[in-house]
Amino acid sequence: SMILIISLIIAIASSLLISIKHLDPLLLGEDYARSLGINTGLVRLFVGIIAGSSAAITVTYVGVIGFIGFASPHIARMLVKSGKSSVILPFACIIGGLLAILTNLFIRIVFQGSSVPVTAITSLFGAPLLIYMVSRMRGEYAWA
């Protein structure tokens, strides 16, 4: 079971590293990415499949920890202060792991002897973080 998980993680990480050079131009818009010869539809499909697969694997083996997956890239972007996907992605992975470990540690210290799910605590802190980030981005995007 652990060999399967490690194999899947390596496959997904390798796929992300292969596609990462196509993600930065997409941040500047589809027209710009197309002008560089990038097939934006194919890149979006590929990244969507990788993201969906990694989410499915994570939920299968770990459980629903969606707020960690939501928060870690935004926290990484704030800390690193870079717009490059190749810089943000590794930091987002590290921060996501740290958030999961720290949440588990918090539960073990504060709720000794009881069984509090990690998702309860991540949702407790993740919901206000989501509201804060959406309110902060309101002026940056026309659709918000």
Number of domain units in the chain? 2
Same-domain status, 82 and 24: no
What range does the domain containing 1 cover? 1-61
Q: Could you read off the pLDDT of 4-20 as tens digits, one per residue?
A: 888 888 888 888 888 88
User: Rounded to two decimals, what is the model's pTM?
Assistant: 0.56
| Contact status, residue 69 vs residue 13, Cβ threshold 8 Å | no
Same-domain status, 71 and 55: no
| Contact status, residue 98 vs residue 104, Cβ threshold 8 Å | no
Same-domain status, 80 and 128: yes
Query: What is d(CA 36, CA 43) in angstroms, rounded to the nearest whole number?
Result: 13
Q: Could you read off the pLDDT of 71-93 as tens digits, one per residue?
A: 888 888 888 888 788 888 889 88
